[in-house]
Amino acid sequence: MSDKIRVRFAPSPTGGLHLGGVRTALFNYLFARQNGGDFILRVEDTDQTRFVEGAEEYILDCLNWCGITPDEGPHAGGEFGPYRQSERKALYREYAEQLVEQGNAYYAFDTPEELDQKREEIPNFQYGHTHRNNLRNSIFLPVNEVQQLLKDGVPHVIRIKVPVDENIGFNDLIRGRVNFETSTIDDKVLLKADGMPTYHLAVVVDDYLMQITHAFRGEEWLPSAPVHLLLWEYLGWKTAMPQWAHLPLILKPDGHGKLSKRDGDSLGFPVYAMNWTDPKNGDLTKGFRELGFLPEAFVNLLAMLGWNNGTDQEIFSLEELVQQFSIDRISKAGAQFDFEKAKWYNHEWIKQSSAANLEPQVIPVLRQHNIFAENYPQLKKIIDLVKDRCTLLTDFYEHSAYFFQKPTTETIDWPSIQPKWNQAKTDFFRAFIQKSQEIETWETVVIETTFKGLVQEKGIKIGEVMLPFRIILVGGKFGPAVFDIAEVLGKQEIAERIEAALAFLGR
RNA sequence: GGCCCGUUCGUCUAGGGGUUAGGACGUUAGAUUUUCAUUCUAGAAACAGGGGUUCGAUUCCCCUACGGGCUACCA
């Protein structure tokens, strides 16, 4: 076996991919890239009742959007396939049977109903050493009866036989030594009645077969780690076991409970990376992408949830993260998600992104409002002019719409100029239209000089006409420097806007 | 209930036996921007509690409290 670093992201295709999932994928990716290793996508679709059509494609789309495409997986191929556990079904039974033969596992014929009843009758019922000896399994039942049940095809599961009074532990890369007492662990089901493995069996078998060297997963898996440890040992693969790193959980903003898929967008912010439509009922759950997040920002904010490089730096590109990521700087405590800070990251990324990078993402935003800017020669300039004002990509609409559409008499902020309007201002703007038509090189500075020269000439205060000029062109008290706006709009357009305003004000 | 993990400003976090406990988000106040945003300056804001160990503990150890996770033929 080579010593190449191999990590896997192993989601279950049961719906949208949420924050925590993407972060796990990201940390896997960073670690793999940093060490010249492989990043594998493995689809854990062993629960046929929870399978959701389209979820797998959606997950891959999310990873692609974030720029963390797997090297191996159901779509990328690879030497360790198949990468969907449902397609590896036959494999798991062999190992489960091997464990039964070795005496480390056993057949159990109890029906779910019987177990439910036990749980009701016996407080804190656990299917383990305390009860396994009088339940319907191959430990308690006579051999010939078990043979008969198997021959008759009676539905059964295979359970691990957890030893009594053993101390078992491992060194977590994030938490250090973690120990468990086996007597407190129950005999987890390894192979379900439908022949599919549970997570516990599948994760061990596949991590071994796929030669995974480091396993990152959420902290919620910590309690089942001892089961996995036992399996690695019983299957005889102990020396090949990956190193574990249990990531801190991402908590709801109020700190009560982990952020879960089911939170959807009910918390006032999205939980999913991208829009997700439930194929069963058509319900749409909003995602970060559609809300106007840049993938760079999304990746950045996710990385900072539980990791930092020890300095004050907070803005990291994916490349920088690959360079600087280190497991020992991952924090142990869960992190409450703060949407305000998330938006700050996006704002920062928009501000520092080039117009060229932003342009293809701004065009669809404008198109949603029937502004078709793709062939607009000044689009890049407009983006540079307004990007400081945009926290989300969707903000580009309200901050740049006036470049493409004349403000209407209904939307213009008349109250800010009308009360102080007078004939002198009307005269000034008429004269300005005239003067501006004579400008040969239509540039910000020239427009400004012309404007100011006219102010002098007319003997009025510049403060009295600056705001009206802005409002006439833009519609309100916002936007970049007014002469920059005038330059982009062009002399014809500003003349039309001034004329329209004068007509309204002169009624 | 049992087991496991955790605990520095409201939030994300840095730090680490001796510090004015640092930064960022948010927030407050000012400056700049003849608009808004950006930018800049300043302010308020934290070591959960109790025992040890030590000359000294927020930092190391123990206990308690609190929070979280798991406790399915779900992952």
Who among residues 360-419 of A has its Cβ near strand B, under 7 Å? Answer: 388-389
Average pLDDT over residues A9-28: 96
Whether A175 sits with its Cβ under 7 A from any strand B atom: the answer reads yes
A284 CA, B36 C1': Å apart: 34
pLDDT in tens, A365-404: 999 999 999 989 999 999 999 999 999 999 999 999 999 9
**Co-location of A113 and A182 in the same domain:** yes
- A342 nearest nt, CA–C1': B25
Query: How many angstroms separate the CA atoms of A245 and A92, rounded?
Result: 25
Residue A79 in this model has a pLDDT that exceeds 60: yes
Round the average pLDDT of chain A to a whole number and report it.
95
Q: How confident is the model at residue A261, as a pLDDT?
A: 87
Place of tokens 């000089």: A449
**Co-location of A62 and A100 in the same domain:** no
pLDDT in tens, A106-123: 999 999 999 999 999 998
**Co-location of A247 and A395 in the same domain:** no
Which nucleotides on strand B sit less than 7 A from a protein beta carbon? 1-8, 10-15, 22-26, 33-39, 67-75
A311 CA, B17 C1': Å apart: 23
Half-sphere exposure (Cβ direction) of A197: Cα atoms closer than 13 Å: 24
pLDDT in tens, A235-291: 999 999 999 999 999 999 998 899 998 887 888 899 999 999 999 999 999 999 999
A331 inside domain: yes
A396 CA, B21 C1': Å apart: 41
**Co-location of A455 and A488 in the same domain:** yes
Whether A73 sits with its Cβ under 7 A from any strand B atom: the answer reads no
Q: How confident is the model at residue A123, as a pLDDT?
A: 87
Residue A1 in this model has a pLDDT that exceeds 80: no
Of A407, A406, A249, which Cα lies nearest the Cα of A334?
A249
Of A250, A399, A397, which Cα lies nearest the Cα of A334?
A250
Which of A256-275 are b and which e, b meaning 16 or more Cβ less than 10 Å from the residue's Cβ? eebbebebbbeeebbbbbbb
Query: How many angstroms separate the CA atoms of A286 and A199, rounded?
Result: 29
Residue A507 in this model has a pLDDT that exceeds 80: no
Report the predicted TM-score, pTM, of the whole model to 2 decimal places. Answer: 0.95
- pLDDT bucket at A430, cuts 50 / 70 / 90: very high
A466 inside domain: yes
The number of beta carbons lying within 10 Å of the beta carbon of residue A442 is 16
| DSSP string for residues in A262-288 | GGTTTTSS--BSS-EE-TTT--EE-BH
Average pLDDT over residues A208-227: 97
What phi, psi does A460 have (nearest 5°)? -110, 170
Who among residues 236-255 of A has its Cβ near strand B, under 7 Å? Answer: 248-249, 251, 255
pLDDT in tens, A122-170: 988 999 999 999 899 999 999 999 999 999 999 999 999 999 999 999 9
- Going through A161-230 in order, the beta strands assigned E by DSSP cover 167-172, 176-181, 189-191, 214-218
A301 inside domain: yes
Q: How confident is the model at residue A255, as a pLDDT?
A: 87
- A200 nearest nt, CA–C1': B75
Q: How confident is the model at residue A264, as a pLDDT?
A: 77
- A192 nearest nt, CA–C1': B73
CATH number at residue A217: 3.40.50.620
- A469 nearest nt, CA–C1': B35
pLDDT in tens, A318-355: 999 999 999 999 999 999 999 999 999 999 999 999 99
Query: How many angstroms separate the CA atoms of A99 and A164, rounded?
Result: 17
Task: Catalogue the long-range contacts made by A127-135 (C-beta closer than 8 Å, 24 or more residues apart).
Answer: A127/A159, A127/A186, A127/A187, A128/A162, A128/A183, A128/A185, A128/A186, A128/A187, A129/A162, A129/A164, A129/A183, A129/A187, A132/A106, A132/A159, A132/A161, A132/A187, A135/A108, A135/A110
Rg of the Cα trace of chain A?
Answer: 32
A409 inside domain: no
Number of domains observed in the structure of chain A: 5
A210 inside domain: yes
Mention every residue, 6+ apart, whose C-beta is less than 8 A from residue A268.
Answer: A339
**Co-location of A480 and A466 in the same domain:** yes
**Co-location of A216 and A70 in the same domain:** yes
**Co-location of A240 and A163 in the same domain:** no
Average pLDDT over residues A63-86: 96
A256 inside domain: no
pLDDT in tens, A158-211: 999 999 999 999 999 999 999 999 999 999 999 999 999 999 999 999 999 999
Residue A414 in this model has a pLDDT that exceeds 90: yes
The strand pairing partners of A335, in sequence order, are A250
A240 CA, B65 C1': Å apart: 41
- pLDDT bucket at A2, cuts 50 / 70 / 90: low
**Co-location of A361 and A425 in the same domain:** no
Q: Which of A230, A251, A272 is the last residue of a domain?
A: A251
A272 CA, B45 C1': Å apart: 32
**Co-location of A47 and A141 in the same domain:** no
A494 inside domain: yes
Decide: helix, strand or coil at residue A477.
coil
A407 inside domain: no
User: Structural domain of residue A60, as residue ranges?
Assistant: 6-74+204-251
Decide: helix, strand or coil at residue A368.
coil
Instruction: Cite the active site residues of A.
Output: 261
pLDDT in tens, A308-319: 999 999 999 999
Query: How many angstroms separate the CA atoms of A15 and A262, rounded?
Result: 10
Q: How confident is the model at residue A262, as a pLDDT?
A: 85
